[in-house]
Amino acid sequence: MKEMYPKKGRVILHVDMNSFYASVEMAYEPELKGKPVAIAGNVEERRGIIITCSYEARKFGVKTTMPLWEAKKLCPQLIIRKPNFDRYRTASIAMFEILRNYTELVEPVSIDEGYLDITDSFELGSPIEIAQSIQKRVLEQLDLPCSIGIAPNKFLAKTASDMKKPMGITILRKRDIPAVLWPLNTSEMHGVGKKTAEKLTTIGIHTIGELAAGNEIQLKSLLGINGIRIKERANGVDNRPIDPQAVSDFKSIGNSTTLPKDTTNQQELYRVLESLAETVSVRLKRKNVLAATLGITIRFKDRKTITRSKKLSNPIQQKEDIASMAKQIFIKEWNGNPIRLLGITGYDLVEHDLAFKQLDLFSFEKDAKKEPLLKTLSTLRDKYGKNIIKNAGARKLDNAHNVGTGTSFNKDFLRTFPQKKKEDD
């Protein structure tokens, strides 16, 4: 069986759950199978927005972020369910536990997808046999469908898993790239968004093949280091390792202050928290990240210190959100004794563009109302450069504090995901 694996190089799988939220609901309610199902908030109201939907619903044109009224107009028989994130998280944990039966080199990248390095798993069968086994076990044990890509690196594995949905298994080798990928438009390439694709057209690059042959000086001038990176991807080059600890890899941004005098005045303590929240918000914005967990530190007059944190349903960055959550945690933990020091810290930092937002639809719809403004800002940045407009808060402490750069941030809310214990634990 080892002969079916490369002597040099790796075998990477990308497992991508199909229409995950809707599929989980179908697993709990089998009578929903084969029917058009959508997950949405505010199901009684016209202003609800679709989070995700089944493939049966997609056939009618129903799509993510579509207003509920529009989705029902396209598909009158659409079945709506409210999101149940505890249920989805439980299913996600069970799915990753199955994956770990095949290798310890499993890297979750979101609630419903992850990479596996099965290079040394040849005793379990060929790569295609392992993929088939995973797909079968996830379906039989969890009643959930998934698609799997098999390739020599992450980029090609991710690309392959998108090729056949639902319940597909696709092998994508480097030698397949010219025939399979190069004819496609750059907007269809994983890691290249619509705006980047539009920029590439300004230098005559429309297809992935043209990108693969692109001039590096031009690409770097247009897109910075990302220009070189996407050219490498277009040529099938991706040396990123599978990192099982990446899900736990996080930094923090915070601020604390010692009060001028010990106090029990609640309003004064609230004002201190608001000031700290503003500073933390500015630092988060400067680094273009959001906090998925918020913690506070309380030091009492007797120097006893406690820290408490709360995992958030949606990552936050704004001063008002940070202050509100900090006050909630504080008032629950404060025993009324005089306080000497207060601190607020944001953990599980998520890059703004990659933030996995557990949509509660209230905030989602509030964000959606800002869409026209955001599109205008985006147009201005595309035309005049990304620094032409900045959030005022991001400038406020521009030189005040030095927070580490180059950090690899946690991309979802899985920091508390059960990790395999070490032998000496």
Those residues with Cβ within 8 angstroms of residue 410's Cβ, 6 or more apart along the chain or in another chain: 246, 247, 248, 249, 250, 292, 348, 349, 350
User: Strand ranges (DSSP E) for 91-159?
Assistant: 106-110, 113-117, 146-151
- In which order are the strands placed within the sheet that holds 253-263? 253-263, 339-351, 289-300, 305-316
Q: Nearest-CA neighbor of 325 among 304, 345, 340?
A: 345
Query: How many C-beta neighbours within 10 Å does residue 32 have?
Result: 18
Q: Is 420 exposed, middle or buried (0-12, 13-18, 19+ CB in 10 A)?
A: exposed
Binding site: residue ranges? 16, 112
**How far is the CA of 48 from the CAs of 42, 57, 76, 235, 277, in angstroms?**
5, 16, 15, 42, 31
Identity of residue 279: T
End-to-end CA gap in the chain? 34
**Residues with active-site annotation:** 113
Tokens representing 352 are 């703004």
Binding site for Mg(2+): residue ranges? 16, 112
Backbone angles phi, psi at 364, to 5 degrees: -60, -45
